[in-house]
């Protein structure tokens, strides 16, 4: 998930490509302060990079920009449009992710047509200061309650991602663990391997 806080004068496309070279498996473009026109211009550039590396490209929150750039999907929060309404706007074949912090929210999102859930914050985070904390037991309960993939988010770094082993998650959304690092490509590669290890342990726990 992108965040221009750590660009330090670089272009966002540069840092995103470094993450993709390191093995990032999906890119979510998040811009809260940008005009729709500027957002769309940036989205088309990042979409082209994602196509080059063969990974899905997701827009955060902005349905109009997602439609305009023909993104692979969109991620919406609890205060944004309902997944059912988003599906009506985007049509079939697009990926819809929904943020959830409780089992009830997760089940509703699944019933409404979400393809995956973003659950967190699983650890304290400085990226979203208003993020609600989701305890490990709640994360595990959400994973057990739904049949769609659950992606953990919030304060996830190399030193703590494996603490999510056994929860049932199928992925991790990362911000500063990649973009705040000096070597973004290396950080992305390291987090990919740790995420694979964590998911493998989740699968083993289900056996």
Separation between Cα atoms, residue 192 and residue 17, nearest integer Å = 15
The answer on pLDDT for 4 being more than 70 is yes
Q: Global pTM? A: 0.94
Instruction: State mean pLDDT over 124-140.
Output: 81
Identify whether the C-beta of residue 148 lies closer than 8 Å to the C-beta of residue 114: yes
Distance from C-alpha of 146 to C-alpha of 26, rounded to nearest angstrom = 21
Spell out the domains of the chain, with CATH numbers in brackets. Answer: 4-206 (3.20.20.70)
Mean pLDDT rounded to a whole number for the chain: 94
What's the pLDDT tens digit per position in 26-51?
999 999 999 999 999 999 999 999 99
- pLDDT of res. 127: 60
CA dihedral 165, 96, 11, 35 (to 10 degrees): -140
Residue 163: predicted pLDDT: 97
Residue 169 has pLDDT above 70, yes or no: yes
pLDDT at 202: 81
Query: Does pLDDT of 150 surpass 60?
Result: yes
183: which residues sit within 8 A by CB, 6+ positions away? none
- What positions carry a catalytic annotation? 30, 99, 128
The SS3 of residue 100 is: strand
Q: What is the arithmetic mean of pLDDT over 3-21? A: 96
């Amino acid at each position: 998930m992108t965040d221009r806080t750590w660009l330090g004068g670089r272009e966002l496309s540069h840092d995103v490509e470094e993450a993709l070279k390191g093995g990032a498996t999906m890119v979510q473009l998040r811009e809260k302060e940008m005009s729709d026109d500027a957002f769309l211009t940036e989205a088309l550039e990042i979409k082209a990079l994602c196509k080059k590396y063969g990974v899905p490209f997701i827009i955060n929150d902005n349905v109009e920009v997602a439609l305009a750039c023909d993104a692979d999907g969109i991620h919406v929060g609890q205060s944004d449009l309902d997944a059912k309404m988003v599906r009506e706007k985007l049509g079939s074949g697009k990926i819809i992710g929904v943020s959830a912090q409780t089992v009830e929210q997760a089940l509703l999102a699944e019933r409404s047509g979400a393809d995956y859930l973003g659950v967190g914050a699983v650890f304290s985070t400085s990226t979203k200061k208003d993020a609600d904390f989701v305890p490990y037991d709640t994360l595990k309960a959400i994973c057990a309650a739904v049949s769609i993939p659950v992606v953990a988010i919030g304060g996830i770094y190399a030193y703590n991602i494996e603490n999510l082993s056994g929860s049932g998650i199928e992925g991790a959304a990362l911000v500063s663990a990649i973009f705040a690092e000096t070597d973004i490509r290396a950080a992305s590669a390291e987090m990919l391997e740790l995420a694979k290890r964590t998911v493998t342990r989740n699968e083993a726990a289900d056996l």
